[in-house]
Homo-oligomer: A and B are copies of this chain.
Amino acid sequence: MANKPSIPKGTRDFGPDEMAKRNYIFDTIKSVYALYGFQQIETPAMETLQTLMGKYGDEGDKLLFKILNSGDFLKNAKDEELLERNPLKLQTKVAEKGLRYDLTVPFARYVVMHREELQMPFKRYQIQPVWRADRPQKGRYREFYQCDADIVGSVSLLNEVELMQIIDMVFAKFGIRVQIKINNRKILSGIAEVIGEADKIVQITTAIDKLDKIGLESVNAELAKEGIPTDAIEKLQPIIQLSGTNDEKLDTIAKVLSNSEIGMKGVEESRYILDALKKTNLKNEIELDLTLARGLNYYTGAIFEVKALDVQIGSITGGGRYDNLTGIFGMPGLSGVGISFGADRIYDVLNTLDLYPKSSVTGTQLLFINFGEKEMNYVLPFVAQARKANIRTEIFPDSVKMKKQMAYANAKNIPFVVLAGDSEIEQGKVTLKDMESGEQTLVSSEELISKLGL
């Protein structure tokens, strides 16, 4: 009953080369998170639908993968309900669990369930796959990893400062030049307040964002088209044409928002964060950008986003401050701030720029060619010594044609192979071949290790 196998659309296998690269990405991010005192947690792939539903909007509810109940999954559905064939109504009768859609809701659920054990502030990171029944397309998958770090239970802006340092350090380690953009929800609220158009923030920032492309007049025309009154557009001019250093920008904004309490709070927060970061020798530029308006329904303070400078691709990291993560689970008033690295896009950027360090993608370092049982018995002590010296070492298990064994070394990008026949045995040594240069050297066990060891 052979059938040609396949995998569900939108999912991926990761082979050895991809895994080595992905491990390099995750290990780098993990090491920086840990350096700043974040601790890893993991939550189950499955959550109850009660935990998941209603957290991501109607569209999100549809995109949740639901797990069919075990056993008689129809037992909660009446005949009439079945014949009515309303999938939205029936799905929660046949399914009680779903696959997690992001790491934020499971984290909120985790904090509430474990509140008694947790010492606040709680600094956690979490690197796990999430699942969304989105229409698959280039760069969008139904299973992908998120890499989140959050601090909850502290309103200190030092947390924002440290998260910016983490972002800077991670990309410095990758060798990816980035621009870190920062904004503040309170500044945006202030702008809307000052011009009396509290519900038009999105339209305003979207229009402002086009300044470089379409010019000032067209931006103003678009604002008018969106129903912003002339005098409000007038007031917006300093904001639309905002330029200069971050400090100059903050001075300009402060003038416009001087009558808005929330707006001035946003200016003050941004100034604190940017001033503190001046003392930290960031490798990458950080820019105050008012057009940054991600997650407006969610974020309440600072908002962050990272763009790669040398590759055209969307945001590769983002985050911000939120004020009520756990309220939906009955634990109000817990403020937090977090970031999330986009592993799939970072993978693409590293590939495009060819930035993987050689050591991160080298698997086996040394292969012993198999010439038969006698020769194998001779080399086994060499193999043991190499592994003892922590050199990743293989023996080709079958004594097949040399050509096949060398093809194996090449396919696995193994940099060195060992050859040992009668002549080597006589001299108590082995021949070490450098696969890149082709150079062959007769070496003792000690010389072998010192040539390859770290």
- Is A327 an interface position by the 8 A CB rule? yes
Partner-B contacts on A (CB < 8 A): 1-8, 11-16, 19-20, 23, 34-37, 39-48, 50-51, 54, 62-63, 65-68, 70-74, 79, 82-83, 85, 87, 90-91, 94-97, 99, 109-110, 112-114, 117, 119-121, 123-124, 129, 131, 133, 142-143, 151, 154-156, 158-159, 162, 279-281, 327-330, 363-364, 367, 370, 376-377, 380, 384, 387, 390, 392-395, 397-398, 407-408, 411-412
Cβ contacts under 8 Å, A397 to chain B: 121, 151, 154, 156, 158-159, 162
Given contacts A7-B51, A11-B45, 5 further A-B contacts (CB under 8 A): A13-B44, A14-B42, A35-B392, A45-B131, A65-B67
**Shortest CB–CB separation between residue A283 and chain B, in angstroms?**
13
Cβ contacts under 8 Å, A70 to chain B: 62-63, 65, 133
**Shortest CB–CB separation between residue A136 and chain B, in angstroms?**
12
Cβ–Cβ contact B119 & A398, under 8 A: no
Cβ–Cβ contact A1 & B41, under 8 A: no
Copies per complex of this chain: 2
Q: A109 to B11, alpha carbons, bound, how many Å?
A: 14
Cβ–Cβ contact B156 & A330, under 8 A: no
Using A44-B12, A131-B46 as known contacts, say yes or no to A5 and B395 having CB atoms under 8 A apart. no
Cβ contacts under 8 Å, A35 to chain B: 387, 390, 392-393
> SS class of chain A's interface: helix, strand, loop or mixed?
mixed
Cβ–Cβ contact A94 & B94, under 8 A: yes
Cβ–Cβ contact A41 & B68, under 8 A: no
Cβ contacts under 8 Å, A73 to chain B: 87, 90-91
Q: A132 to B96, alpha carbons, bound, how many Å?
A: 16
Q: Which residue of B lies closest to A94 (CB)?
A: B68
Cβ contacts under 8 Å, A62 to chain B: 70-71
Q: A403 to B95, alpha carbons, bound, how many Å?
A: 48
Cβ–Cβ contact A79 & B87, under 8 A: no
Cβ contacts under 8 Å, A279 to chain B: 377, 380
**Shortest CB–CB separation between residue A83 and chain B, in angstroms?**
6
Q: Which residue of B lies closest to A108 (CB)?
A: B5
A-B contact pairs, 11 of them (CB 8 A): A1-B328, A3-B330, A6-B51, A7-B48, A7-B51, A19-B42, A36-B393, A37-B367, A66-B68, A79-B83, A154-B397
Cβ–Cβ contact B68 & A5, under 8 A: no
Q: Which residue of B lies closest to A151 (CB)?
A: B397
Cβ contacts under 8 Å, A34 to chain B: 363, 392
Q: A5 to B79, alpha carbons, bound, how many Å?
A: 31
Cβ–Cβ contact B384 & A280, under 8 A: yes
Q: A14 to B40, alpha carbons, bound, how many Å?
A: 9
Cβ–Cβ contact A5 & B46, under 8 A: no
Cβ–Cβ contact B19 & A54, under 8 A: no
Q: A51 to B13, alpha carbons, bound, how many Å?
A: 14
Q: A398 to B153, alpha carbons, bound, how many Å?
A: 10
**Shortest CB–CB separation between residue A108 and chain B, in angstroms?**
8
Q: A40 to B19, alpha carbons, bound, how many Å?
A: 6
Cβ–Cβ contact A36 & B159, under 8 A: no
Q: Which of B43, B68, B85 contacts A91 (CB 8 A)?
A: B68
Cβ contacts under 8 Å, A90 to chain B: 73-74
Cβ–Cβ contact B5 & A329, under 8 A: yes
Q: A407 to B119, alpha carbons, bound, how many Å?
A: 8
Cβ–Cβ contact A5 & B66, under 8 A: no
Q: Which residue of B lies closest to A51 (CB)?
A: B5
Q: Which of B63, B68, B82, B364 contacts A95 (CB 8 A)?
A: B68
Cβ–Cβ contact B36 & A114, under 8 A: no
Cβ–Cβ contact B154 & A121, under 8 A: no
Q: Which of B4, B19, B44, B82 contacts A7 (CB 8 A)?
A: B44
Q: Which residue of B lies closest to A110 (CB)?
A: B13
Cβ–Cβ contact A13 & B329, under 8 A: no
Cβ contacts under 8 Å, A151 to chain B: 397
Cβ–Cβ contact A158 & B376, under 8 A: yes
Cβ contacts under 8 Å, A51 to chain B: 5-7
Using A13-B114, A119-B412 as known contacts, say yes or no to A394 and B44 having CB atoms under 8 A apart. no
Q: A151 to B408, alpha carbons, bound, how many Å?
A: 14
Cβ–Cβ contact B39 & A363, under 8 A: yes
Using A70-B133, A71-B87, A87-B71 as known contacts, say yes or no to A393 and B37 having CB atoms under 8 A apart. yes
